[in-house]
Amino acid sequence: MKTLPLSLAITSALTAMLVSASVHSTDIDGTDVVSSEQTTDSVELDAVTVSADFRSSELQTIPASISVISEDVIEQRSARHIEEILAVIPNVNYAAGASRGRYFQIRGIGERSQFVAPLNPSVGTFVDGVDFTGFGGAATLIDVEQVEVLRGSQGTRFGANALAGVINVKAVEPSLESKGYVKFHAESYNGYGLEAAHGGAISENVLYRAAIGKTVSDGYIENTTLDKQDTNNIDELTSRLKLRWLASEDLTVDLSALYLDIDNGYDAFSLDENRKTRSDEPGHDRQETLALALDANWKISDAVTMEGILTSNRTDAEYGFDEDWTDPAFQPGYQAFDNYERDLKRDSVELRWLSGPAGKIMNSDWLVGVYYQDSSIDLTRDYTYDPLFTSEYKTASASVFSELNTSLTDNLILTSGIRLENWQSDYSDNNSIAGDNSENLVGGKLALEYTTNSADLVYASITRGYKAGGFNGEANLPSEDLRDFDTEYQWNYEIGSKFSALQASMNHRISLFYTDRQDLQLKSSTAVDNGNGGVSFVDYTSNAGKGFSYGAEWEMDWQVVADLSLSTSLGLLKTEITEHNNPDPDAFNLEGREAAHAPAYTYATAVNYALTNYVAVQVQLEGKDEFFYSDSHDYKSESYNLINARLTYQRDNFEVALYGKNLTDEEYGVRGFAGWDADPRSGDGFDETEYQQLAAPRVVGVSTRVNF
Q: What percent of the chain has pLDDT over 90?
A: 79
> What's the whole-number mean pLDDT along residues 654-674?
95
Chain mean pLDDT for the chain: 91
Residue 29 maps to a domain: yes
For residue 19, what pLDDT is reported? 42
Spatial separation of the C-alpha atoms in residues 454 and 58, rounded to whole Å: 16
Q: What percent of the chain has pLDDT over 70?
A: 91
Residue 628 maps to a domain: yes
Backbone φ and ψ for 455, nearest 5 degrees, come out as 70, 20
* Residues 234/264, Cβ–Cβ less than 8 Å: yes
Minimal CA–CA distance to 616: which of 683, 562, 578?
A: 562
Residue 25 has pLDDT above 90, yes or no: no
DSSP class of residue 134 equals T
Sequence letter at residue 316? D
* Residues 424/395, Cβ–Cβ less than 8 Å: yes
How many CA atoms within 13 Å lie on the side-chain side of 4? 18
pLDDT digits (tens, 9 = 90+) for 551-567: 999 999 999 999 999 99
Minimal CA–CA distance to 59: which of 70, 49, 71, 46?
A: 49
For residue 137, what pLDDT is reported? 87
Sorted by sequence, the CB contacts under 8 Å of residue 161 that are 6+ apart come out as 120, 121, 122, 123, 124, 133, 467, 468
Cα 173 → chain centroid: 21
> What's the whole-number mean pLDDT along residues 55-75?
95
Question: Residue 31 burial (CB < 10 Å; 0-12/13-18/19+)?
Answer: exposed
Choose between 101 and 206: higher pLDDT.
206
Residue 157 has pLDDT above 70, yes or no: yes
Residue 459 has pLDDT above 70, yes or no: yes
Residue 1 maps to a domain: no
* Residues 286/263, Cβ–Cβ less than 8 Å: yes
CB-CB neighbours of 438 under 10 Å: 10
pLDDT band at residue 265 using 50, 70 and 90 as cut-offs: very high
Integer CA distances (angstroms), 224 to 50, 322, 569, 657, 694, in order? 48, 14, 41, 34, 17
Spatial separation of the C-alpha atoms in residues 296 and 253, rounded to whole Å: 4
For residue 38, what pLDDT is reported? 39
For residue 534, what pLDDT is reported? 61
Reduce the DSSP state of residue 230 to 3 states and report it: coil
CA-based R_g, the chain, Å: 25
pLDDT digits (tens, 9 = 90+) for 468-527: 998 888 888 888 888 889 999 999 999 999 999 999 999 999 999 999 999 999 887 776
Residue 72 maps to a domain: yes
For residue 44, what pLDDT is reported? 82
Reduce the DSSP state of residue 440 to 3 states and report it: strand
Structurally, the chain folds into a number of domains equal to 1
Spatial separation of the C-alpha atoms in residues 588 and 566, rounded to whole Å: 44
User: Range of 56's domain?
Assistant: 7-707
Residues in a beta bridge with 521: 543
pLDDT digits (tens, 9 = 90+) for 299-314: 999 999 999 999 999 9
How many CA atoms within 13 Å lie on the side-chain side of 171? 34
> What's the whole-number mean pLDDT along residues 326-335?
91
Buried/exposed code over 142-163 (b: 16+ C-beta within 10 A; e: otherwise): bbbebbbbbbbbbbbbbbbbbb
* Residues 120/103, Cβ–Cβ less than 8 Å: no
Minimal CA–CA distance to 112: which of 136, 77, 85, 81?
A: 136
For residue 166, what pLDDT is reported? 97
| CA–CA–CA angle 531, 534, 536 (5° rounding) | 90
Residue 548 maps to a domain: yes
For residue 39, what pLDDT is reported? 41
Residue 2 maps to a domain: no
Residue 663 has pLDDT above 50, yes or no: yes
Sorted by sequence, the CB contacts under 8 Å of residue 623 that are 6+ apart come out as 5, 7, 602, 603, 604, 639, 640, 641, 642
Q: Any idea what the CATH number is for the domain that residue 223 is in? A: 2.40.170.20
Residue 143 has pLDDT above 80, yes or no: yes
Residue 638 has pLDDT above 60, yes or no: yes
Residue 621 has pLDDT above 60, yes or no: yes
pLDDT digits (tens, 9 = 90+) for 355-407: 999 999 999 999 999 999 999 999 999 999 999 999 999 999 999 999 999 99
Spatial separation of the C-alpha atoms in residues 366 and 360, rounded to whole Å: 7
Buried/exposed code over 106-131 (b: 16+ C-beta within 10 A; e: otherwise): bbbbbbbbbbbbbbbbbbbbbbbbbb
Choose between 272 and 305: higher pLDDT.
305
> What's the whole-number mean pLDDT along residues 520-535?
72
Backbone φ and ψ for 680, nearest 5 degrees, come out as -65, -15
* Residues 306/506, Cβ–Cβ less than 8 Å: no
Reduce the DSSP state of residue 619 to 3 states and report it: strand
Spatial separation of the C-alpha atoms in residues 18 and 566, rounded to whole Å: 10
> What's the whole-number mean pLDDT along residues 594-608?
97
> What's the whole-number mean pLDDT along residues 58-83?
96
The per-type count for the chain, helices as H runs and strands as E runs, is 3, 41
Minimal CA–CA distance to 346: which of 318, 386, 374?
A: 374
| CA–CA–CA angle 120, 123, 124 (5° rounding) | 85
Residue 592 maps to a domain: yes
* Residues 126/169, Cβ–Cβ less than 8 Å: yes
For residue 477, what pLDDT is reported? 85
Residue 28 has pLDDT above 80, yes or no: no
* Residues 348/296, Cβ–Cβ less than 8 Å: no
